[in-house]
Structure 1
Amino acid sequence: MKNLTLLIVAAASSLAALTEAHISFRYPCPRRAAFPECPKPSPPHSWNDVDYNVISPVGTHGNIMNPIPKHKDSFAGVRPVFQAGSTVSTTYEAAAIHKGGSCQWTLSYDNGKTQVVIQDWFRHCLRDAKSGQRYSIPVKIPANAPSGPALLTWIWNNNEGNRELYASSADVVIEGSSSNSLSGVAPAFCNYGPNSCFIAEEAVAGGNWGEYHFKSRKPITVTK
């Protein structure tokens, strides 16, 4: 009986570990994040508007828990300025990695209503990150990304554990481009509500990490 109890406890612990993948942007600051280096609330916002769960998933395949972007605006403060054509060292707050997954990065000029993918990292994104440590990923800002206020969003589907979607959105400013539009593909929001595309655990699906869904993304053009 004692051995059975220990086995049950161990199994429960493993299950808990698989349901606690929590990751978000650390830089640039996600909207309303509680990280100490991020903008603080000021009128009309209050401390009740701070997002203390910024590293939690925005949805599962059965439920949309939060919109993307999660918040309609950010706190007033300094916005990072990125040069069109430059590479930005984005950082992530990682609590659990779940054998990595597939990342998409997007830009939007209408507060997230339309988003265009500017970079992908399929299957192995965050796989070599260490739980509890910050992790950096270089993201290239397209040379023809329109100048002006923009929303940079990171989207991640995990390989292992609950079928979840993670997303972080950060307000940034793009400079150095005379373009008025940016074309590419719209992001795939898989495992984000019962009507979304479904990506099974990679091990369960025999190595299928959702490639078909990413190849099926639709062309889109965003304008400032």
Structure 2
Amino acid sequence: MFSSALIASCISALAVAHMIMRDPVPYGQSTLNNSPLDGSGLDFPCKQRARVYALEGASNVYTLGSTNLLKFTGQTVHGGGSCQVSITYDREPGSRSVWKVIKSIEGGCPAQGQVGNMGDNIEAEDPYEYNFTIPNDIPNGTATIAWTWFNKVGNREMYMNCGPITLTGEGGDVSNFNALPDIFLAHIDNGCGVAEGYDVAFPSPGKDVERLNGATTSFIGPTGMCGSTAASVPPTTAITNHTLVGSSRMARITSSALIIVPTSTISVVPISSISSPSAGTLCTPEGDWKCVNGSSYQRCASGSWSAIQRLPVGVSCNPGPSSTLDMVPST
């Protein structure tokens, strides 16, 4: 039997919202609220709104290779969950911006050892603090940092706050930035999700991973069509948990322009018929995709083509370059 205190805590987690990134200092503090991203994905990235990228005095200066603190305000932590810290070199990111992960925290974020919420004071400082390290081999200059959070308890949501950063130091090659994993996206009408009651284990967490978990040991991978991370998910899960055939709606990942097209037929071009540029080859325009032979793809990121990645079993893409990656069920 569950205790009445546990039940009350879980109900509270469902009813109230939420958390705000305090450090790094976010953009647009006067208009930033503590709600999640809209389930439609229309306010991705960074909770799009009026004056979303207003500095309002915000300044976060980090030396390449330095370790820094991640802090939050609020008590409605929804049992914790999993978080990522990502960066883009776009000062005002849009739907085509390229985000790369520099830290993954699986479980216990933004609070550890919680079964629900710590309280309902939206102005209280979260006592739990986390570390993230800026890679020492990526380019210097102005950029944007993002905290994303996938809560364990409550509605299936994605939270995202962004802030301005200035990276100082000698700086490295852009290829080192490109080699970092892509940001994980879910619950923004993109066909990817995380089951309630679990801490998501990110398919591509990167090299800097911290596992905290807190009160339970309940890690789980995401389900559905999760963009460039889908190949890391068991194929049966990726296909059976998302309706591809006969659906009347399209699912779009706004950051990666993944579209699932409802159709029952596809012509797959023979493997030898379409050539693909080697990883690192220069490309334009930024953010474009190239479907290779109907079964793999690569993306133009930070001026060069990424490595070719396989699509999940059971789906194909329409061969050739495009601003979107159109995926259809294989026949």
Determine if the TM-score, normalized by the shorter chain, exceeds 0.5.
yes
Deviates more, 1:124-133 or 1:106-115: 124-133
For 1:164, the aligned partner's letter is E
Say which of 69, 76, 80 aligns to 1:89. Answer: 69
Q: Secondary structure at the residue paired with 2:180? A: strand
1:117 aligns with 2:101: yes
Matches within 5 A, 1:53-92: 53=33, 55-60=34-39, 63-64=40-41, 66-71=43-48, 72-92=52-72
For 1:128, the aligned partner's letter is Q
State the match for 1:171 in structure 2. Answer: 164
> How far apart in 1 are the matches of 2:63 and 2:71?
18
For 1:156, the aligned partner's letter is W
1:199, distance to aligned residue in structure 2 (A)? 0.7
TM-score, normalization: structure 2? 0.51
In 1, are the aligned partners of 2:85 and 2:145 still within 8 Å (CA)?
A: yes
Structure 1 stretches of at least 4 aligned residues deviating more than 6 Å after TM superposition: 217-220
1:121, distance to aligned residue in structure 2 (A)? 0.8
Go from structure 1 to structure 2 and tell me whether the alpha carbon gap of 1:66 and 1:100 turns closer, same or farther (over 3 Å shift): same
Q: Secondary structure at the residue paired with 1:162? A: coil
Q: Could you list the per-position Cα deviations for residues 10-55 of structure 1 after superposition, in whole angstroms to 9, with x for gaps in the alignment?
A: x899635323241121112211113xxxxxxxxxxxxxxx33x2x1
> How far apart in 2 are the matches of 1:15 and 1:74?
36
1:95, distance to aligned residue in structure 2 (A)? 2.7
Go from structure 1 to structure 2 and tell me whether the alpha carbon gap of 1:125 and 1:186 turns closer, same or farther (over 3 Å shift): same
1:137 aligns with 2:130: yes
What fraction of aligned residue pairs are identical, expressed as a percent? Answer: 26
Higher RCO, 1 or 2 (CA under 8 Å, sep at least 6)? 1
More strand by share: 1
Matches within 5 A, 1:123-202: 123-128=107-112, 130-131=118-119, 132-134=124-126, 135-181=128-174, 182=177, 183-193=179-189, 195-202=190-197
In 1, are the aligned partners of 2:23 and 2:70 still within 8 Å (CA)?
A: yes
Go from structure 1 to structure 2 and tell me whether the alpha carbon gap of 1:159 and 1:12 turns closer, same or farther (over 3 Å shift): closer
1:175, distance to aligned residue in structure 2 (A)? 0.3
Structure number with greater Rg is 2
TM-score, normalization: structure 1? 0.73
In 2, are the aligned partners of 1:102 and 1:121 still within 8 Å (CA)?
A: yes
- Cα RMSD over matched residues? 3.2
State the match for 2:220 in structure 1. Answer: 209
> How far apart in 2 are the matches of 1:133 and 1:186?
30
In 2, are the aligned partners of 1:74 and 1:171 still within 8 Å (CA)?
A: no
In 1, are the aligned partners of 2:192 and 2:222 still within 8 Å (CA)?
A: no
In 1, are the aligned partners of 2:136 and 2:171 still within 8 Å (CA)?
A: no
In 1, are the aligned partners of 2:10 and 2:154 still within 8 Å (CA)?
A: no
Unaligned runs of 5+ in 1: 1-6, 35-49
> How far apart in 1 are the matches of 2:151 and 2:44?
18
Count of residues paired in the alignment: 194
